[in-house]
């Protein structure tokens, strides 16, 4: 079985918004939208990047990340704080190698501490954690294949639960993996794209939504 080990080099895209606690999280009923972005407004706070490592920013009503170097992840976040959430985003790789990373982030503390929920364009997935700058997969020792992931340049809708100590990954409406971990209890949300040995991961993200579970 083909496996894709997660590599450790990351670069944070600074968000434009300042971190703020979502008061609505404690006030609204379960199932309510806590935050959403369709990326039609380039001033909504996700930041932009134009460096040797890659580029990121708003384009054509989506958020776009292009990774120009091998073994690099680029990610961005809106500058929010949540505790328990279900988040979703639509992901479309438009070019580059099928061995890539396309992910949601939750409970981001800083560039060295957060959870991630990743799929690849060749049909692999993983749930993992960056803690004190050290990356590890929680769902298994390596990324694993799942038929729910649409491969190639097809659009996948992925979701993630960060509820108490339960972390779960959803792909196209179905749960494909869950783990338990209690290191991080709150933090920001975000999206991530990354490369393995071959650079050129080119990914669009759209219709980002955070729900109260």
**How much of the chain is helix, strand and coil, in % rounded to 5?**
0, 55, 45
Report pTM.
0.92
CA pair distance 10, 20, nearest whole angstrom: 24
Judge contact between 106 and 123, C-beta under 8 A: no
Residue-by-residue pLDDT tens, the chain, 213 positions: 334 444 445 566 665 544 555 666 778 899 999 999 999 999 999 999 999 999 999 999 999 999 999 999 999 999 999 999 999 999 999 999 999 999 999 999 998 999 999 999 999 999 999 999 888 999 998 999 999 999 999 999 999 999 999 999 999 999 999 999 999 999 999 999 999 999 999 999 999 999 999
- Where are the chain's structural domains? 10-20+31-211
Domain 10-20+31-211: CATH superfamily, name plus number: Exo-inulinase; domain 1 (2.60.120.560)
Which residue is associated with the tokens 């809106």?
78
Q: Could you identify the residue written with the tokens 């450790």?
A: 8
């Amino acid at each position: 079985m083909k496996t894709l080990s997660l590599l450790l080099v990351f670069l944070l895209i600074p968000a434009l918004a300042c971190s703020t606690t979502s008061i609505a999280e404690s006030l609204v009923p379960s199932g309510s939208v806590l935050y959403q972005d369709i990326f039609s407004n380039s001033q909504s706070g996700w930041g932009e990047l134009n460096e040797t490592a890659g580029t990121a920013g708003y384009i054509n009503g989506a958020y776009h990340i292009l990774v120009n170097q091998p073994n690099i992840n680029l990610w961005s976040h809106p500058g929010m704080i949540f505790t328990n959430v279900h988040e979703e985003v639509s992901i479309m790789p438009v070019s580059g190698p099928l061995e890539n990373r396309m992910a949601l982030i939750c409970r981001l503390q800083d560039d060295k501490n957060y959870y991630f929920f990743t799929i690849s364009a060749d049909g692999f997935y993983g749930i993992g954690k960056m803690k004190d700058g050290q990356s590890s997969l929680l769902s298994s020792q390596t990324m694993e294949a799942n038929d729910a992931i649409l491969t190639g340049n097809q659009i996948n809708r992925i979701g993630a639960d960060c509820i108490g100590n339960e972390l779960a990954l959803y792909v196209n409406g179905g749960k494909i993996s869950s783990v338990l971990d209690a290191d991080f209890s709150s933090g920001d949300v975000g999206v991530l794209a990354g490369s393995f040995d071959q650079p050129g991961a080119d990914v669009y993200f759209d219709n980002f939504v955070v729900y109260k579970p």
